[in-house]
Amino acid sequence: MRRIVLTAFTAILMAAAASAQMPDSATQMKNWIDYMTPGKEHAMMASWNGNWTGDIQVWMAPGAPPMTSTGTCTNTMVLGGRYQQSSYTGSFMGQPFEGLSTMAFDKAKKVFIFTWLDNMGTGVLYGTGRWNEATKSVTFVGRMVDASTYKEVPFREVFRVIDEDHQVMEMYGPGPDGKEFRSMQINYTRRK
C-alpha cells in the first residue's frame, strides 16, 4: 500500500512540475504560430525552386574511375512554403532512375532535415545538418542501409550553393576499408 501511495504522490509531483513549466495558453498559441510560419531559411529554399540539370559522377570504390551520367531535378515548395520537394530522373548503370527528396528547416531544432528515397532501394535516407553561412552549405549526417550488405552505415552529404544557378552535392560513405570516401558528386545547373 505504501508503494502505491508513493507512486501516486510521485506522479502528482511530476504533473505539477510539468504544468508549472508550461507557458500560458496565449504564449503557447504564439509559439505554435511562430513554429508553423515559414522563415528566412524557407525563403532561401524557395530560391532553389525550378528545373535543374545534374552532371553526375559515382565512384564504386576509392580510386576507381567515376561512372558518369546526367539527370534532371525539379524543386518545388509544398505545404504552404514549409518544405521543398524535389523530383529526380536519370539513369544509373543503364537502368532508369527516379528519386524523391524533401528538405525541411525545423525552426525549433534549428536544423535542416533531408529525406531521400528512390527506385534503387526500399528504405529512406534521413539526415540532419546546420547551415554554414561562410561556406553557403549544409553538411547532412545520418545513417543509411548499404544494400550490398544490408548493414546500416553512416553517411555524410555536403550540399553547397555556388551561386543562384549552380549547386554541388557530394555524398560520402565508408569504403571497403571502413574509411570515408566520396562516392558521388552532382554538379547542378539551373535550366532557364
Same domain for 79 and 154?
Answer: yes
Alpha-carbon separation of residue 14 from 3, 7, 21, 44 (angstroms)? 16, 11, 11, 42
Q: What is the pLDDT of residue 13?
A: 59
Whole-model pTM: value is: 0.85
Are both 58 and 77 inside the same structural domain?
Answer: yes
d(CA 48, CA 78): 13
Instruction: Say yes or no: 16 and 44 in one domain.
Output: no
Residues 48 and 31 in one domain: no
Strand partners, 168: 160, 187
pLDDT attached to residue 25: 85
Tally Cβ neighbours within 10 Å of residue 90.
18
DSSP 65: P
Q: Is there a single domain that holds both residue 82 and residue 167?
A: yes
- Percentage of the residues of the chain whose pLDDT score is greater than 90: 77
What pLDDT, in 10s, does the model give residues 96-145?
999 999 999 999 999 999 999 999 999 999 999 999 999 999 999 999 99
Summarize the confidence of residues 76-103 as an average pLDDT: 95
CB 140 within 8 A of CB 157: yes
Q: What is the pLDDT of residue 130?
A: 98
Could you report the per-residue pLDDT of 10-53, keeping only the tens digit for each? 666 566 566 567 778 888 899 999 999 999 999 999 999 999 99
Are 52 and 115 in the same domain?
Answer: yes
d(CA 20, CA 11): 14
pLDDT at 82 over 70: yes
Domain count for the chain, please give it.
2
Residue 153 in contact with residue 177, Cβ under 8 Å?
A: no
For residues 135 and 52, state if they share a domain: yes
Together in a domain, 97 and 73? yes
d(CA 172, CA 138) in angstroms, rounded, equals 14
Whether residues 24 and 90 fall in one domain: no
Domain identity same for 145 and 57: yes
Condensed to tens digits (0 to 9), the pLDDT of residues 143-192 reads 999 888 899 999 999 999 999 999 999 999 999 898 999 999 999 999 98
Same domain for 120 and 54: yes
Which residues, at least 6 apart from 138, have a Cβ–Cβ distance to it below 8 Å?
112, 114, 129, 130, 131, 132, 158, 159
pLDDT value at position 2? 53
CATH no. for residue 87? Answer: 2.40.128.20
- Are residues 100 and 132 both part of a single domain? yes
Is residue 4 pLDDT above 80, yes or no? no
In the prediction, which pLDDT does 21 show? 77
The average pLDDT across 88-95 equals 90
pLDDT given at position 148: 86
Q: What is the pLDDT of residue 16?
A: 59
- The range of the structural domain enclosing residue 109 comes to 40-190
